[in-house]
Amino acid sequence: MNYNFQYGVVWDNFGALMEGAWLTFQLGVFAFAGGILIGLLCASIKTYGPWPLRLLVDTYVVFITNTPALIQIYFLYFGLPELGVRWSNEACVLIGLVLNAGAYLTMILRAGFLSVRKNELEAGLTLGFSVVQQIRYIIVPHIAKAVYPALANFFIVVLVMGTSVGALIGVDELTGQAINLSSINYRWLEYFSVVAVIYVVLTFVASVGLALLGRWAFRVRVRIF
């Protein structure tokens, strides 16, 4: 093997890679946050809603979880313009990731809804809790504690695997930025080894942060890696 590693060009463009990493992080956070809102809504419908709405939620979950995220984003980016709807490539990635995460989070949160113990709700009722107070003090903490480890894992999945799909429709997140830069001077190995390290650092920081948050807020132990 006589490949001559030259990391100089990578360091020269390190700022651009960091911009990509920052965009990756933002996409991951917003996709996850949007997915949580959809997931909460759909999981409460699945638990407490009438059957036509439950059927709608089931259709959405089955449709999304059985097709690749890339296809969903291609549909938004290449398909919708045919129908006269034209979103920017960043918007397509973000909306696609939100819809995708929403379906998986519906399934994760649904398990949390099922973990709420009826007898605690009855205790709450007889102590005089209103419906809103039951949700605030009993239901949400239960769900949070039950599903927190799964949520933390899923955030990492969105952060690393989800966002990198953006590269394929020209969004300059970390992977996209690395592709752009390496195709200028063909230092693929150098760029992608550095990018791999940045991804690892990103997920490590996110994992530690989430583990500490979980311990502090919900008394749950989350594995780091």
Partner 1 sequence: MPHLAVNNLRAKYGALEVLKGVSFSIEKGQVVALVGPSGSGKSTVLRTLVGLTPVTGGNVTIHDDKIDYASSGSLRRARDQMAIVFQQYNLFQNMRIIDNVTVAPVKIKKRPKDEARADAERLLAMVGLADKLNAFPDQLSGGQQQRVAIARALALHPEILLLDEVTSALDPELVNEVLDSIRQLAKDGMTMILVSHEMAFVREVADKVVFMDGGSVVEEGLPEVLFDAPKTDRAREFFGKILRH
Assess 128 for contact with partner 1 (CB under 8 A): yes
As measured in angstroms, the least distance from the Cβ of 69 to partner 1 is 34
Of 12 and 122, CB closest to partner 1: 122
Residues 134-173 touching partner 1, rule: CB under 8 A, are 137-138, 141-142, 145
As measured in angstroms, the least distance from the Cβ of 45 to partner 1 is 24
As measured in angstroms, the least distance from the Cβ of 41 to partner 1 is 23
Report the alpha-carbon distance of residue 169 to residue 165 in Å, rounded: 8
Among 29, 120, 180, 185, binds partner 1 (CB under 8 A): 120
Of 3 and 216, CB closest to partner 1: 216
Which range binds partner 1 by CB under 8 A, 114-122, 163-171, 175-183, 202-210? 114-122
Using CB under 8 A as the binding criterion, the count of chain residues that bind partner 1 stands at 19
As measured in angstroms, the least distance from the Cβ of 47 to partner 1 is 18
Sign of CA dihedral 82, 79, 159, 32: positive
Which range binds partner 1 by CB under 8 A, 106-114, 127-135, 156-164, 201-209? 127-135
Among 25, 87, 129, 199, binds partner 1 (CB under 8 A): 129
Cβ–Cβ under 8 Å, residues 65 and 104: yes
Among 127, 216, 221, 225, binds partner 1 (CB under 8 A): 127
3-class SS string, the chain:
CCCCCCCHHHHHCHHHHHHHHHHHHHHHHHHHHHHHHHHHHHHHHHHHCCHHHHHHHHHHHHHHHCCCHHHHHHHHHHHHHHHCCCCCHHHHHHHHHHHHHHHHHHHHHHHHHHHCCHHHHHHHHHCCCCHHHHHHHHHHHHHHHHHHHHHHHHHHHHHHHHHHHHHHHCCCCHHHHHHHHHHHHCCHHHHHHHHHHHHHHHHHHHHHHHHHHHHHHHCCCCCCC
Of 131 and 184, CB closest to partner 1: 131
The contact set with partner 1 (CB under 8 A) reads: 117, 119-120, 122-129, 133, 137-138, 141-142, 145, 218-219
